C-alpha cells in the first residue's frame, strides 16, 4: 500500500485481513462485520473509504452481481461472472472467455472492455432444463424479465 502512496492504518490492515482470509465475494457491509468483530469502533464509512483506496491501488476490484450490493474481492483473482435471471445463481467465468470480445472491441471501436465489473445476465443450465421439462408452468421462451 505504501508503494502506491496509500496510508497503512489499523482499519485497512484489518480490512485486508478480512479480504485475504474470507470467502471471495463480499459486500462492504459483510467486510465491515468481519472487521468490527475485531475492532468494533471501525465505522462502515471507514470501510468504504478503505475499499476505495484499495481499488485505486489495484488491490481489490468490485463487481455488481445482479440486483444486490457491489461485492469486493482481491484483484489477483479477478474474473468475470454470469448471473441467472431466474434463480439468482452467480457463476465465475474465467477472463479468457472474453479475450476475443475484448480484442474485437479494441480493433473495431478502440474500446477497452472490462468484463469484471458487471455480471452478464442469462439463464443457467438448471433453469433452462426446468423450463423445458414436461409440465413446466412457464416455458423459457415466454418468460419476461424486469
Q: Which residue is listed with cell 471501436?
A: 109
Q: How confident is the model at residue 15 (pLDDT cuts 50, 70, 90)?
A: very high
Domain covering 1-77 in this structure, CATH number: 1.10.10.10
Domain ranges in the chain?
1-77, 79-115+122-146
What three-state secondary structure class fits 83? Answer: strand
Query: 136 is written with which cell numbers?
Result: 413446466
Number of residues that this document lists for the chain: 146
pLDDT at 96: 83
Q: How confident is the model at residue 4 (pLDDT cuts 50, 70, 90)?
A: low
pLDDT in tens, 70-88: 888 888 767 788 989 899 8
Residues 25-44, mean pLDDT to the nearest whole number: 93
- pLDDT over 70 at 53, yes or no: yes
Q: Please spell the DSSP secondary structure of 16-66, one letter per residue.
A: HHHHHHS-S-B-HHHHHHHHHHH-TT--HHHHHHHHHHHHHTTSEEEEB-S
CATH architecture of 79-115+122-146: 2-Layer Sandwich (3.30)
Amino acid at each position: 500500500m505504501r508503494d502506491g502512496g496509500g496510508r497503512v492504518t489499523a482499519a485497512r490492515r484489518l480490512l485486508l485481513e478480512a479480504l485475504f482470509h474470507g470467502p471471495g465475494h463480499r459486500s462492504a457491509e459483510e467486510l465491515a462485520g468481519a472487521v468490527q468483530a475485531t475492532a468494533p469502533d471501525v465505522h462502515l464509512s471507514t470501510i468504504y473509504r478503505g475499499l476505495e483506496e484499495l481499488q485505486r491501488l489495484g488491490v481489490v476490484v468490485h463487481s455488481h452481481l445482479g440486483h444486490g450490493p457491489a461485492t469486493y474481492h482481491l484483484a489477483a483473482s479477478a474474473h468475470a461472472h454470469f448471473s441467472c435471471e431466474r434463480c439468482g445463481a452467480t457463476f465465475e467465468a474465467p477472463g479468457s472467455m472474453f479475450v476475443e470480445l475484448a480484442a474485437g472491441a479494441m480493433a473495431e471501436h478502440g474500446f477497452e472492455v472490462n468484463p469484471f465489473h458487471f455480471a452478464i445476465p442469462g439463464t443457467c443450465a438448471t433453469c433452462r432444463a426446468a423450463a423445458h421439462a414436461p409440465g413446466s408452468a412457464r416455458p423459457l421462451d415466454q418468460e419476461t424479465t424486469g
